[in-house]
A and B are shown apart, each in its own frame.
Chain A
Amino acid sequence: MDKFTKLTGIAAPMPLVNIDTDMIIPKQFLKTIKRSGLGVNLFDEMRYTLDGKEIPEFVLNQPAYRQAQIIVAGDNFGCGSSREHAPWALLDFGIRCVISTSFADIFYNNCFKNGILPIVMPQDVVDVLMEDAKKGANARQTVDLEAQTVTTSDGRVFPFDVDAHRKDCLINGLDDIGLTMVKAKSIDSFEQKAATLRPWA
């Protein structure tokens, strides 16, 4: 997993609420056995016509936002299925950070496993960041994970909260499985205890 420390980049405004994982990556692209290559189909049905032409109004098709690395989104981003293809598609496109008032739990969790930072901010802050993002390519926002701040293009700074363990994993690019393997003895002893208490399980 790529580390995430500090990012300065273009933020794309997506104010629609309840952007679901079917919108982020429609099911026909889940038939892959790889993690890579999904960026071209990110937001496929919002981004392309039925015959595969770009829809010019869609934010990521606009010249200012084609290189976006941040999305500022409406409430409840990532609701729906558990498909990790959603963060894979975002990452493959180049998105490293999504900011919203709320995220669906599973999507939120999946982001951290892939080096994407989801940031929850209150509505008034998301409103400010959304307006800032609407300024286009010259309005770069800075996300500093170590300092836990987002800075708008005109220098306004907003702090955010993040779970300490997840922050540590992102900053150091740590592999969860490796970390858990270190606790193999605890898992062994749990299994021995459970074999007596709940032998049917």
Chain B
Amino acid sequence: MTARTLYDKIWDDHMVDQAEDGTCLLYIDRHLVHEVTSPQAFEGLRMTGRKVRAPQKTIAVPDHNVPTTLDRANAATMTEDSRIQVEALDKNAKDFGINYYPVSDVRQGIVHIVGPEQGWTLPGMTVVCGDSHTATHGAFGALAHGIGTSEVEHVLATQTLIQRKAKNFKVEITGSLRPGVTAKDITLSVIGATGTAGGTGYVIEYCGQAIRELSMEGRMTVCNMAIEGGARAGLIAPDEKTYAYCMGRPHAPKGAAWEAAVTYWKTLFSDEGAHWDKVITLKGEDIAPVVTWGTSPEDVLPITGKVPSPSDFTGGKVDAVQRALDYMGLTPGQNLSDIKIDTVFIGSCTNGRIEDLRAAAAILKGKKKKDGIRAMVVPGSGLVRAQAEEEGLAQIFIDAGFEWRLAGCSMCLAMNPDQLAPGERCAATSNRNFEGRQGRGGRTHLLSPAMAAAAAITGHLTDVRDLM
């Protein structure tokens, strides 16, 4: 039998039909749904009299629009259009009989945090959602990627997706990370190396010792940003850490079914001699704590670096860098660690899990944020929030002067009231530094939770290793 990659294996096990031209119909095991990209899809079902084919495999949770302030049970905290979207999801979940975690449920949170937390996401599955950060679930060795609303409707109606197979891209991180360096620094450094289009047309498998040494939370952070490198999906082969994370989760198999599942999961790895269309290798030891300076996730440098000049680049990137520096209000040659910030945002599907909060709290313990800085922590789910309170992390954040919020996407994309003002500069643990992403005119520097905590203390971008 020919040697196959992990992606090849999952693909083969989900193929329903293959047309002569190579177009495939792929079966979808889990369909996650949120309020922003689904209303038109449900409307389409109603207009054509179609049903949700597998409501038991469909899971919905509102996250993008929901306020994260403690008074959010009061409907007046949402704008009318946001409220209509959330209410539409309430109604669609009920009408079509799908699994649902409403805003009032303690399990509510960002869809990509809720899925794994509840055991919906398991190794070897196909997982889709009308959201590009669906790549997160690849951390379990699940083939997971974002889809558009037309495809959401297609999956709701047929539990399948029309796909062509992507190419295989191996990203190996050898050795171990140095202290102060995290999963976020790995994933940003990979994007820095490949560019935001480097993964276009590929599915990435992350491997190597540094990846194996990451926790499941860290692996989710790495896979989450595969899309920022252009790859629809990022994968990490499951191992004992994966099984340990899944075991006992509400929707994970139990008893004999669990044993059968683990037996199958143990076959999910890339075979020796499998074909890779592209390979890059980074040394774990070489990865530094990084920050972004521009308006594309590929605009990334070690915190010890300086703001580059457009003349350091070629082609279309020259104009793009000039535009980015103008937008970001930065000067070539400026030390990255001299950049003063106004705001710190810790949260998002990239870095809103318990380990992220632990990492930030470890830096903040016994310290205070710099006066005048706006700082907030938005846990990725109600359960992450509860656990952080139990572990005493919430109190560390509150004592340091941070706002301790309820769960949601929040300032990652600023669809709810958490937004930057024009010119406001934010150290953010989220995933996109695009123009206007966190609010029109807002300036975003992407970094790890530990680096965000360090910036909150000093008031400027800071090498977290100086505070350790």
B415–A31 touching, CB < 8 Å: yes
Residue A163 CB within 8 A of the other chain: yes
* Across-interface contacts of B98 in A (CB, < 8 A): none
B1-47 CB contacts (< 8 Å) to partner A? 13, 16-17, 19, 21, 23, 25, 27, 29, 36-37, 39-40, 43
- Residue-wise, chain A 22-47 has the 8 Å CB interface mask toward B (1 for contact) of 11001110111111000000000100
B196–A113 touching, CB < 8 Å: no
CA distance A113 to B151 in the complex (A): 8
CA distance A63 to B130 in the complex (A): 36
A26–B160 touching, CB < 8 Å: no
A33–B319 touching, CB < 8 Å: no
CA distance A22 to B79 in the complex (A): 20
Q: Which of A74, A163, A198 has the most CB of B within 10 A?
A: A198
* Across-interface contacts of B435 in A (CB, < 8 A): 22-23, 45
B200–A165 touching, CB < 8 Å: no
Residue A141 CB within 8 A of the other chain: no
- Of A18, A84, A201, the contact of B37 (CB 8 Å cutoff): A84
Residue B148 CB within 8 A of the other chain: yes
CA distance A68 to B271 in the complex (A): 50
A33–B85 touching, CB < 8 Å: yes
Residue A199 CB within 8 A of the other chain: yes
* Across-interface contacts of B408 in A (CB, < 8 A): none
A27–B414 touching, CB < 8 Å: yes
Residue B260 CB within 8 A of the other chain: yes
A163–B23 touching, CB < 8 Å: yes
Q: Which of the segments A2-10, A100-108, A132-140 contacts the partner chain?
A: A100-108
A183–B25 touching, CB < 8 Å: yes
On whether A74 and B316 interact (CB within 8 A), knowing A33-B88, A180-B162, A187-B158, the answer reads yes
B432 to chain A, nearest CB (A): 6
A16–B319 touching, CB < 8 Å: yes
CA distance A87 to B154 in the complex (A): 17
Please, could you name 8 A-B residue pairs with CB atoms under 8 Å apart, sorted by A?
A20-B432, A31-B79, A35-B149, A50-B441, A82-B131, A82-B148, A186-B16, A187-B25
Query: Which of A's residues lie within 8 Å of B, judged by CB?
Result: 15-18, 20, 22-23, 26-28, 30-35, 45, 50, 74-76, 79-84, 87, 102-106, 109-110, 113-114, 163-165, 176-177, 179-181, 183-184, 186-187, 190-191, 194, 197-201
Query: Which of B's residues lie within 8 Å of A, judged by CB?
Result: 13, 16-17, 19, 21, 23, 25, 27, 29, 36-37, 39-40, 43, 48, 50, 53, 64-65, 79, 81-82, 84-85, 88, 122, 124-125, 130-132, 134, 145-151, 153-154, 157-160, 162, 164, 166, 196-197, 200-201, 227, 230, 232, 252-253, 257-258, 260-261, 264, 296, 315-317, 319-320, 323, 413-415, 422, 432, 434-437, 440-441
